[in-house]
Each structure stands twice: as C-alpha cells, then as structure tokens.
Structure 1
Amino acid sequence: MALSDADVQKQINQMMAFIEQEANEKAEEIDARAEEEFAIEKGRLVNQHRLKIIEFYDRKEKQVELQKKIGASNLLNKSRIEVLKAQEQHIKNVLLETQQQLSVITQDRAAYSALLTKLISQGLCQFMERKVILRCREADYKLVEDALPSAVHQYQSLAKKDVTVIVDTENWLPAEICGGIELTAQNSRIKITNTLEARLEMLAHQMLPEIRRLLFGRNPNRKFDN
C-alpha cells in the first residue's frame, strides 16, 4: 500500500528530528570535550606560569638575600679596615710620642753614657772587624770618648779580638736625632746604625704584637701574631 504524502512528510520530519537530535547531542559532546580540554590546558598553562612566577620570585629573593649578605660583608670589611687604620694610626702616635721622649734619656748623662757604652760594644760584636769608624752627634763627642774605652774592653773580653775605633769628627750625625752612634767598616761598605731612633724602630717592630695586645686587647680572629 502506497504511503500518502502526509505519511511521507511525517517520516521525513521524524528523520529530520532524529538527525537534529543526534547533531545536537554530538555538538554538546564536542562542546563538553572542548570545554574539558580547555579547562585542562588552562590549568596546565596556569600551573606552568605559576611555577615560573614562583621560580622568578625565588631567584629574586635569593638575589636580594645575596645582595644583603654582600652589602653586610662590605660594610663589615669597611668597618674592620677603618678600625685597623685607626689602630695603626694610634700605634704610630704612641711611637711618635715615645720617640719625642727619647731626648729625656740623654739628659741623664750617667745613664746616657752607660747606654752609649752598650751601643758601641754591641755594634763591635756585630762587626767583628779590626778597624771601625764611629760617628756620633757633635754634642755627644765627649761622652762617646769617655764611653769608648769601656766599650772596647767589653768587646775584647767577649770576642777575644783587638779592635781600633776611630771617631769621625768630620761627619757628625745630624744634630736633630735624639742620640746614639753609627759604626762603619771596610771603607763604609758595611754599616750598623745604633741611633736611639733606630733601636726604637727595631724594638717597636719586635714588640708590635705585644703593643697591639696591650693597646687593644687580644684579637680573637687573629691566629698568628705578626
């Protein structure tokens, strides 16, 4: 039996409705899948950028901490240098004040004469030469002449050798030094300076660690004295 036009149209409408429903369901499925994939990709990108941001600020924080440490270290080193400079200047001032007081020693002629005897004798023992030229201040000439025999006797008793000491009266030591003597031998090729300033400088160098300790206390960071 042939279908009427109305039945045909009805079937066509049903088929169209089915196709449309299938299409809508498929579209919804695609939309849902796309939305899910978008959400996943969005989460991945957000997490990726979040990690990058965290990493970026971690680096910044480490850089800031490093700069703070460097800054603190620089300030500490600068302050240490300033303290060391101040200490060295104070030591220089103390030595300068001590040097200025050396002239007091020469005012006690008996004590100064005894000191000259020791300075001459020590110099001769260092030389161990047969002929020695001695220089002194012109103001000390008489004291040196008086001290010389005793100094030579001390040297000969220790070294068991003879020595001739000639006082150079043409080339005096500078009048501005505090005192002491200078010895030369072998046509001035060798020289020993036993002036009061030279002995003070030598003594200060030897006692520098002790001077530092007395003035500023023991440094807990110093492993070795120098």
Structure 2
Amino acid sequence: MALTDADVQKQIKHMMAFIEQEANEKVEEIDAKAEEEFNIEKGRLVQTQRVKIMDYFEKKEKQIEQHKKIQMSNLKNQGRLKVLKARDDMVTDLLNEARQRLSEISKDPDRYSKLLEGLVLQGFYQLLEPKVTVRCRQQDVEMVQAAVNKNIPIYQEAVKMKITVKLDQDRFLPSEISGGIEMYNDNGKIKVSNTLESRLELMAQQMMPEIRVTLFGANPNRKFLD
C-alpha cells in the first residue's frame, strides 16, 4: 500500500519532532554538565584563592606578631637602660656627696690626725722599702710629720727593718684635695696613694656590690658578686 503525501509529511514531522526532542535533551545534558563543571571549577578557584588569602593574612599576622615582639623587646631594653642609668646616677650622686663630706674630716684635728697615722703606717707596710718619701698638703705638714714620727718605731718593731722617711717640702699635694698622703720609694718609681679621695675610690670599688644591694635590693638573677 503506497503512502500518501499526507502520510509522508506526517512521518517527516514525527521524525523531526523526535530529532528536536533528542537535540533538546542533549542540549539540556550539555548545559547541566557545563553547569556542573563550572561549579566545580568555580569551587576550585574559590578554594584556591581562599587558601591564598588565608596564607597571606597568616603571614601578615605572623609579621605583625614578630614586629610586636621586637617592639616590646626594644621597649623593655630601653626601660632597663633607663633604670640602669638612673641607678648609676644615684650611685654617682652618692659618691659625689661622700667626696664633698671628705673635706669635713680634715677640719677636725683629733679625727684627722688619727686618720693620718693610719694612712702613714699602711703606706709603710704597702711599700716595705728602707727609704720612703712622703708627700702631703702644705697645711698638713706638722700633722703628717707627727704621724711619721709615731709610726716609724711601730713599723720597725713589726718588720724588724729600719726605715728612713723624708717629708717632701718641695712638692706638696694640691690644697684642693681633702687630705691624706702619697708615699714613694727611694727612686720614686713605686707610689702608694693614700689620699682621702683615692681611699674613697678604692672603698667604693670594693663595696660597690654591697652599695647596690643596700640601695636597690638583691638582684635575683645575679649568681656572683664582684
């Protein structure tokens, strides 16, 4: 049985509808797959950028924290230096006050003469020389001569050795110092400085740890004393 034109047209339309439906389904499938791949790629890119951003801010945070630590360390060091300077200034002021008070000693004849006796005898023992020259302030000549005369027999008895002592009348110690003596061996190459200022300096060096403990308290981190 032959197909009529109407039947042919109908079959053609049916086939076209079928092809169009398959094409639409294919397009939808491609669109869905493309959307899925897009979402996957978008998620990957977002995650990658998120990781980069997190790494960036983590590095920045570490840099800020490190900078903060450095600043805190610098501030602490500056604070320590200020404290140390303030303490050194206080010790310096204390020693300056002590130096000013030295001049008061020589104004008390009894006290000063006994001090000179001790300084002279100590000088003898430090030098242990048979011939000694003593130098002092011009205003102290009589007191120093008396101290020398008193201590010669004491020294000779102690060391079983004679000593000749000359008081230098040509060169005196500066009148600006607070007092005391200087002592030399025969050729002048060995010197013992027993001025009040030199004795104060020596005492300050020896007692500096005790002075600091008295003024500022014991340092818990310090294991040894000078």
TM-score (norm 2): 0.92
Aligned to 2:128: 128
Equivalent position of 1:203 in the other structure: 203
Letter in 2 for 1:22: E
Query: Is 1:83 aligned to residue 83 of structure 2?
Result: yes
Partners of 2:51 and 2:17 in 1: how far apart? 50
Which residue of 2 is the match for residue 193 of structure 1? 193
Matches within 5 A, 1:1-226: 1-226=1-226
For 1:64, the aligned partner's letter is: I
CA contact (8 A) 2:134 2:166 kept: yes
> CA offset at residue 185 of structure 1?
2.0
8 A contact 2:136–2:172 mirrored in 1: yes
Question: Percent identity at matched positions?
Answer: 55
| Displacement of 1:205 | 0.9
2:124, 2:2 → 1: CA distance? 153
Letter in 1 for 2:197: E
CA RMSD of aligned residues (A): 1.7
CA distance in 2, matches of 1:142, 1:216: 43
CA contact (8 A) 2:184 2:191 kept: yes
CA distance in 2, matches of 1:154, 1:211: 34
Give me the whole-angstrom Cα distance separating, in 2, the residues matched to 1:5 and 1:85: 117
Deviation at 1:65, TM superposition (A): 2.3
- By how many angstroms is 1:177 displaced? 0.3
Residue identity opposite 2:199 in structure 1: R
The letter for the 2-side match of 1:69 is K
Q: Secondary structure at the match of 2:31?
A: helix
Greater Cα shift, 53-62 or 137-146: 53-62
Q: Which runs of 5+ in 2 are unaligned?
A: none
Deviation at 1:93, TM superposition (A): 0.9
Higher mean C-alpha deviation, range 98-107 or range 184-193: 184-193
Q: Which amino acid aligns with 2:126?
A: Q
Deviation, structure 1 residue 196: 0.3
- Greater shift, 65-74 or 118-127, is seen at 65-74
How far apart in 2 are the matches of 1:87 and 1:211? 11
How many Å separate the matches in 2 of 1:186 and 1:9? 148
Q: Residues 7 and 98 from structure 1, CA distance in 2 versus in 1: closer, same or farther, beyond 3 angstroms?
A: same
CA distance in structure 1 between the partners assigned to 2:11 and 2:162 by the alignment:
150
> Could you tell me which amino acid in structure 1 is paired with residue 92 of structure 2?
K
1:221 and 1:55 map into 2 onto residues whose CA distance is 41
Q: Which moved more, 1:63-72 or 1:26-35?
A: 63-72
Q: What displacement does 1:222 show? A: 3.4
CA gap of 1:167–1:3, structure 2 versus 1, over 3 A, is same
Letter in 1 for 2:127: F
